[in-house]
Structure 1
């Protein structure tokens, strides 16, 4: 099954894209300095610059080919998860995203990874989750090669090994681990315990 682009951007994915595009535009026009978007536990908690808890996940660099590709990939992965797995459960998807962000902030605070921005790691975590939820679907890689999505984490890890240093490889591994935790909480943990830790919507609606 090929992954097609949804005709309409679902609301949660639209919000993620809006935050990402806004941060890039603000930096590109010099209204905000990139360092103001970096996550730093000292600046965040001691200086009470709490916006850094959010902005670190949505800055993909200045407008260039890489940032455009990341926007497109975030849209593709997030919209597929939202429309296919969390259909009619937007609040559950929001809580799943929030859980992933908290895990990444914890890893960053502990110094396991030292990425100044967590946007790329966040996107890779969603990619891993997408791959585990829909392993048999296919996606075109770079417009040239059709792959089962279950292979994407391995492909990205190989590409990272070739192009990046050890810091980038470590970030990819952490992203996959966080994505795996989210998948486990969504799919495996409920089967074992009959509890759904990432389901909130049924409490409110």
Structure 2
């Protein structure tokens, strides 16, 4: 009797935990949810030896000659084996991707997807010349850069050691990467692509004689944008989604 009661209790709490996880998971914005999930599943597949990194990395010759077009996507999904570097990248990817999607891209999912496509295309072109085989970390830095430039008055605290304004965050991350012995080429690529997008989208249209060069294709708007927005929706504060302490921000005067 006791064993049956314990089994029933365990089943109940397992079901409750699953439902809670499912509810929290579905509350993540769609683009952030899709991209982070794809990254985690890709890494899990490599760890389980279902696939190898050699099937994922960016290789123009294999793409053009052997038509392995999936490499154009998979090289953005693999961040290396599970470890500190992987967790570090996943936390920053989730945090700043979600902040952008729930902040300046709120109700503009098509525009957010277009930023993904534009940034991915530029990185693929530039990555060809600098011989980079995985571009996920550069893509994360691009997201961080765009968020930081759109939130210049947010004060950041990095690991409780450094205090600085948000626009310096990508450079702090690059310095941290250098301390870990990593190449900064990936970070510089992410910063460069992020700056190109920010300039074309936020700076140039507001200049005398300027205009919008980046226009989201209509078919993306048809696919991703909803016709109505919930007026009662209150998004998470843009500088604090997920409750992570790394790179935590606080607005000046707040």
Does the TM-score normalized on the shorter chain lie above 0.5? yes
Q: Conserved in 2, the CA contact under 8 Å of 1:96 and 1:198?
A: no
Residue in structure 2 matched with residue 182 of structure 1 by the alignment: 197
Question: Aligned residue for 1:19?
Answer: 38
- Tell me, in whole angstroms, the C-alpha distance in 1 between the residues paired with 2:221 and 2:33: 25
Matches of residues 185-196 of structure 1 in structure 2 within 5 Å? 185-192=200-207, 193-195=210-212
Aligned to 2:179: 162
Cα distance, 1:189 vs structure 2 = 2.3
SS in structure 2 of the partner of residue 138 of structure 1: strand
Residue in 1 that maps onto 2:148: 131
Distance 2:144 2:163 in 1: 16
- Checking the alignment, whether the CA contact within 8 Å between 1:186 and 1:198 is kept in structure 2 is no
Select which of 74, 77, 92 maps to 2:93. Answer: 74
Counterparts of 2:214 and 2:116, CA distance in 1? 13
- Greater fraction of residues in helix: 1
Q: 1:115 aligns with which of 111, 115, 132?
A: 132
Measured in 2, the distance between the counterparts of 1:9 and 1:138 equals: 25
Structure 1: distance between partners of 2:51 and 2:155: 39
Q: Is the 8 A contact 2:31 2:109 kept in 1?
A: yes
CA distance, structure 1, for counterparts of residue 87 and residue 174 of structure 2: 20
Structure 2 gaps of 5+ residues are 1-25, 228-254
- Return the TM-score normalized by structure 2: 0.71
Does the 8 Å CA contact 1:185/1:198 hold for their aligned counterparts?
A: no
- SS in structure 2 at match of 1:94: helix
Q: Distance in 1 between matches of 2:217 and 2:148?
A: 23
Matched, 1:94 2:113: yes
- Displacement after TM superposition at 1:203 (Å): 6.2
What is the CA-CA distance between 1:45 and the residue it aligns to? 1.4
CA contact (8 A) 1:124 1:172 kept: yes
For the residues of structure 2 that align with 1:162 and 1:203, how far apart are their CA atoms?
42
